[in-house]
């Protein structure tokens, strides 16, 4: 895939941030699985399942985010759309922690990273889509 230098930088940046976001989700999932009393679910929380299920979901989701990030770093065409999809869904997953008033900074940090990735993958889509079409 031959992308111009400016887009290659943005896509590489998005891939690295996705690996970080995936690592954050994996940490959140492991904490929910291994430490029962670490997360305290309040009545205003968005979490609809028990913490063990939420922990497994975040652990698996984090692994998908890491794989999408690695795909972006390698310049795989499928990784861009997949990354846009999983980052968008990840924003909603983080709402489970944002609704819980004990950890708003943690969730807001993860959500801000998601928004940065979405910007990096969509802001200059016109330039890169032409390059992607010409390389296929």
Q: What is the pLDDT of residues 1-44, one digit of tens each?
A: 444 455 667 778 888 988 988 898 899 889 888 876 666 556 65
Residues 61-82 pLDDT 10s:
899 989 999 998 887 878 888 9
Closest CA to 38 of 49, 47, 26, 51: 51
Global pTM value: 0.73
> 42: left (phi > 0), else alpha (psi -120 to 50), else beta?
beta
CA distance 101 to 98: 7
For the chain, what is the mean pLDDT? 76
Residues 100, 40 contacting (CB under 8 angstroms): yes
């Amino acid at each position: 895939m031959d992308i111009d230098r400016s887009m290659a930088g943005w896509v590489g940046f998005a891939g690295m941030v996705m690996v970080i976001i995936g690592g954050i989700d994996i940490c959140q999932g492991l904490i929910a699985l291994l430490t029962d009393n670490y997360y305290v679910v309040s009545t205003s929380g968005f979490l609809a399942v028990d913490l063990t299920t939420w922990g497994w979901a975040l652990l698996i989701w984090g692994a998908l985010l890491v794989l999408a990030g690695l795909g972006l770093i390698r310049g795989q065409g499928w990784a861009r759309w997949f990354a846009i999809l999983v980052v968008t869904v990840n924003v909603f997953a983080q709402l489970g922690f944002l609704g819980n008033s004990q950890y708003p900074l943690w969730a807001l940090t993860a959500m801000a990273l998601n928004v940065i990735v979405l910007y990096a993958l969509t802001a200059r889509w016109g330039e890169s889509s032409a390059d992607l079409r010409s390389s296929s």
